[in-house]
Amino acid sequence: MKKTVQSKFPDNFLWGGAVAANQCEGAYLEDGKLMSTADIKARGFFGGIRRDADYYPTHKAIDFYHTYKSDLKMMADANFNIFRTSINWTRIYPTGEEATPNQKGIDYYHDMFTYCHSLGMKVMVTISHYETPLNLVDKYGGWDNRCFIDYYLKFVRTIVDNLSDCVDYWLTFNEIGNAAVKPICWDAAAIDPESDNLLQRMYQAAHHQFVASALAVKYIHENSSAKVGAMIAYKTVYPYTCDPKDVEAAEKEKRKEYFFSDVQVRGKYPSYIWKFFEEHNLDIKMEYGDEEVIASYPVDFITFSYYRSRVVKADEAEPAEITTNTLEGISNPYLPKTGWGWSVDPKGLELALLELYDRYQKPLFVSENGLGAIDEVENDQIHDTYRIDYMREHIKAMKDAIKNGVDLFGYTMWGPIDIVSNGTGQMSKRYGIIYVDLDDDGNGTGRRLKKDSYAWYSKTIASNGEDLD
């Protein structure tokens, strides 16, 4: 018997772009919104959580709060059929503790998502993307405090009740595994990376997020027809050599990443994690019923961010090199790097898709991928061939994975319009196919310009990934 091999992107493939509310909206205290954890991240590598900085990039960002109509129109004109963003929790519940939601926040997102639909774009919403109400954190600490589950679920119920008519896909937590990665735990779990007993706190936070995520899946399934996905950060892991010790170290590292999707997809803590907990003297507190909840409400599909791969060596206790906002690990001599030291590895994306599909057999979606680079403007033109090359090779890699049987249903490139970098707070680390005239200090006209990659991506989408020249 012969079966036809899928050689193209499926006809209904979703093409678009992804942002996070806090990185683009600005208007940080407008229409009732109050501060979120993103709003005290100062500019600079590792941002720094500071109350006394003179400039916080998210406060103004690119003013998407006011410009979303023209920005989204540009994306739709580039043939996008999906737009991914998050809902800034503090627009809906400014302190997190209110009994009733802020209607202006609900209206804002309802208008935006309805507008996306009118432009022919589906809407994928990340419920929590690194923007927890600061009031909750100041009062109760981070996600290792169990009370966050209830605050989060109140938020979930409100947005599902009010926005289900215009949301197609929900993701419960952005890059959930980063709750247990220093220093990104501040973003993902609202835990200060300098705090005591950090590993214990981070994994406890992750447990609470698993429970919260499962209960969110339950609520969404019971109250809408939308699908709910996981969102993990995937960095394909390679052993440094074929020395079995390096291979073993790489496998261990992979399992640390897989832990999060294993729980969200398979609905239970994997057996290997208990040894890791024992080795690190971790004691994760679970309440009666937590395991049942996690088992009962797994996600429908898996999305992930993919920017680069990693190399792991047995005798390196910790990744050696910190080149930018996250741990780069050991340098891979076979791969070029971005200006921020991230390896450029399209093959790693194909491998990620194969590995995830082999492991779970669930539909996959690449919810973030892109190149952060410095762009030069000449006569209002930006010739970003480097970005086109990056996207072309990664799209080819997705196609190769599809040929190998992977069920991939969409791709949202990261930052279709230039936004504030999450890791470094820079505007100059640009991902967009649409340029925004603002610098790292927030100076500039805010004017939007189409980069060369804009026409290229529009054409690629129009051909459903066939015309990649």
**In angstroms, what is the minimal distance from the CB of 195 to ligand BG6?**
22
* CB 368, min distance to ligand BG6, A: 6
- Using CB under 6 A, which of the segments 50-58, 278-286, 415-423, 450-458 binds ligand BG6? 415-423
Q: How far is the CB of 139 from ligand BG6 (least distance, A)?
A: 25
CB of 23 to ligand BG6, least distance (A): 6
**Residue 352, amino acid:** A
Tokens of 99: 């009994």
Q: In Å, what is the CA distance from 83 to each residue of 17, 68, 156, 367?
A: 5, 12, 20, 10
Question: Is there a contact between 168 and 122 (Cβ–Cβ < 8 Å)?
Answer: yes
- Measured from the CB atom, the residue of 90 and 174 that comes closer to ligand BG6 is 174
The reply to whether 145 sits near ligand BG6 by the rule CB under 6 A is: no
* Residue 395 near residue 468, CB atoms below 8 Å: yes
Distance CA 307, CA 118 (A): 31
Q: Does 422 bind ligand BG6 (CB under 6 A)?
A: yes
State which residue, 372 or 465, has the beta carbon closest to ligand BG6: 372
Q: Are 305 and 414 in contact (CB under 8 A)?
A: yes
Is residue 371 close enough to count as binding ligand BG6 by CB under 6 A?
no
Q: What is the C-alpha to C-alpha distance for residues 357 and 144, in angstroms, rounded to an integer? A: 31
Scanning 8-16, 103-111, 143-151, 423-431 for contacts with ligand BG6 by CB under 6 A, the matching segment is 423-431
* Distance of alpha carbon 85 from alpha carbon 269, whole angstroms: 29
Side-chain half-sphere CA neighbours of 209 within 13 A:
35
**Known active-site residue 368:** yes
Site for ligand BG6 in 189-248 (CB under 6 A): 233
Interatomic CA distance for residues 38 and 49, integer angstroms: 9
Residue 20 CB, nearest approach to ligand BG6 (Å): 5
Q: Out of 17, 26, 372, 442, point to the residue binding ligand BG6 (CB under 6 A).
A: 372
Binding mask 318-357 for ligand BG6 (x = CB under 6 A): -------x--------------------------------
**Residue 449 gets which letter from DSSP?**
E
Does 429 bind ligand BG6 (CB under 6 A)? Our answer is: yes
Query: Least distance to ligand BG6 from the beta carbon of 336, Å?
Result: 17
**Angstrom distance (rounded) from CA 27 to CA 63:** 7
Count of residues engaged in binding ligand BG6, rule: CB under 6 A:
15
Q: How far is the CB of 162 from ligand BG6 (least distance, A)?
A: 25
Interacting residue with ligand BG6 among 328, 368, 375, 418 (CB under 6 A) = 368
Cis before 101? omega within 30:
no
Which H or E element spans position 342? none
CA distance 305 to 115: 26
**Is 421 among the residues that bind ligand BG6 (CB under 6 A)?**
yes
Closest separation in Å from C-beta 403 to ligand BG6: 27
Tell me the angle at which helices 385-403 and 346-360 cross, rounded to the nearest 10 degrees. Answer: 30
86 binds ligand BG6 (CB under 6 A): no
User: Residues 295-314 vs ligand BG6: string with x where CB under 6 A?
Assistant: ----------x---------
Q: Is there a catalytic annotation at residue 393?
A: no
Of the candidates 131, 253, 257, 368, the residue annotated as catalytic is: 368
Asked whether 322 and 288 are in contact (CB, 8 A), the reply is no
Tokens 């993990």 correspond to: 232
Q: Does 20 bind ligand BG6 (CB under 6 A)?
A: yes
Q: Closest CB to ligand BG6 among 179 and 402?
A: 179
CA dist 68 and 88 (Å) reads 15
Active-site choice (25, 175, 257, 350): 175
- Alpha-carbon gap, residue 132 to 111, rounded angstroms: 23
**CA separation (Å) from 95 to 99, 135, 185, 461?**
10, 5, 21, 41
Q: Active-site residues: which are they?
A: 175, 368
**Interface residues toward ligand BG6, by CB under 6 A:** 20, 23, 174-175, 233, 305, 325, 368, 372, 414, 421-424, 429
